[in-house]
Amino acid sequence: MRDIIIAGNWKMNKDALQTAEFCRELKSRLSDVKAEHLRVIVAPAFVLLPVAKGALEGSRIEVSAQDVSSQAQGAFTGEVSAQMLASLQVAYAIVGHSERRQYHAESNELVRDKVQMLLQHQITPIMCIGETLAEREAGETEAVLESQLAGCFDGIELQTGKELVIAYEPVWAIGTGKTATSDQAQQAHAFIRNWLRGRFGAEIAANMSILYGGSMKPENCEELISQADIDGGLIGGASLKADDFVAMVHTGISALSKGK
């Protein structure tokens, strides 16, 4: 059975006080959540990971970094290594987000190196892929996904499929208020899972959670998560509001109770 994951990517939002307060609120509002196969994750800025960890201690909510260096250590000013994240018991790191690809020219090859580094430190990569509007309109969505998957997984071996999470984030839906329809999203997710089956085999493909990201909010979350190959969300804007985030966690729980 696959896990449903509700993950908040806070991007460059929330300072130390806001992070601590928000995490304490989530901890208390989600304290009675017992569902198995549900993972709840928040991804604050690097510098606030210890603040979030501290405020969430004793809760089931886990913490993710938003990036990681592809290098192990050394003279790389400003970078944060997988070893550093592991030393803080950070369980996840987002890699390949379209904002990193766009503003920092990150390539699939670099994303692959980051994935490798994370896996070596038993940190779960949340690997982001997705097409731009121009690519979708040119009918290139599947070709783009295929080349991102091939590049980001080049030389990567997996054991179970649970040690890595994919987030399908169509770039045109991120922060725009435009959500992919559930059909569009399901089609892309099914394509991704099928690709995984070919590359890693049926069991790993069936085990891996594939999240949708791009203007997910309480109003569209249920419909998206009810799709066969959509196993949760990587949520930006709506994850910054406690009411919305908590509502989406409950949507995940109710999807599980319906046999997802």
Q: Looking at the annotation, which residues are catalytic?
A: 97, 169
Burial of 71 per CB tally in 10 Å (0-12, 13-18, 19+): middle
What DSSP character marks residue 231? -
- Which residue stretch of 25-33, 69-77, 78-86, 209-217 sits at the interface with ligand 13P (rule: CB under 6 A)? 209-217
Q: Which residues contact 58 (CB under 8 A, 6 or more apart)?
A: 27
Measured from the CB of residue 237, what is the shortest distance to ligand 13P in angstroms? Answer: 3
- Shortest Cβ 97–ligand 13P spacing (Å): 6
Structure tokens at 41: 């994750």
Residue span binding ligand 13P (CB under 6 A) among the ranges 78-86, 167-175, 224-232, 251-259: 167-175
> Among the residues of 48-181, which ranges form H helices?
49-56, 82-87, 98-103, 108-120, 133-137, 141-152
221's CB contacts (< 8 A; 6+ apart) are 233, 247, 248, 251
8 beta partners: 42, 235
For the chain, strand residue ranges (E) read: 4-9, 38-43, 62-65, 92-95, 124-129, 165-168, 210-212, 232-235
- Adjacent-strand bridge partners of 63: 42
Nearer to ligand 13P, 161 or 170 (CB): 170
- Options 12-20, 68-76, 114-122, 213-221: segment touching ligand 13P (CB under 6 A): 213-221
What's at 25, amino acid-wise? E
Which of 213, 248, 249, 251 is the binder for ligand 13P (CB under 6 A)? 213
Among 169, 229, 231, 244, interactor with ligand 13P by CB under 6 A: 169
Residue 66 or 186: which CB sits closer to ligand 13P? 66
Using CA atoms of 119, 120, 123, 124 in order, give the dihedral in degrees to the nearest 10: 10
Pick between residue 214 and residue 232 the one whose CB is nearest to ligand 13P: 214
Residue 20 φ/ψ, nearest 5 degrees: -65, -45
Examine residue 174 and tell whether it contacts ligand 13P (CB under 6 A).
Answer: yes
* Smallest distance, ligand 13P to C-beta of residue 95, A: 11
Determine if 214 is a binding residue for ligand 13P (CB under 6 A): yes
What's the min distance (Å) between Cβ of 202 and ligand 13P? 28
From 96, 130, 237, 252, residue interacting with ligand 13P (rule: CB under 6 A): 237
Q: Which stretch binds ligand 13P (CB under 6 A): 31-39, 155-163, 228-236, 242-250?
A: 228-236
Question: Which residue lies nearer to ligand 13P by CB, 117 or 238?
Answer: 238
| Residues in contact with ligand 13P by the rule CB under 6 A | 9, 97, 169, 174-175, 213-216, 234-238
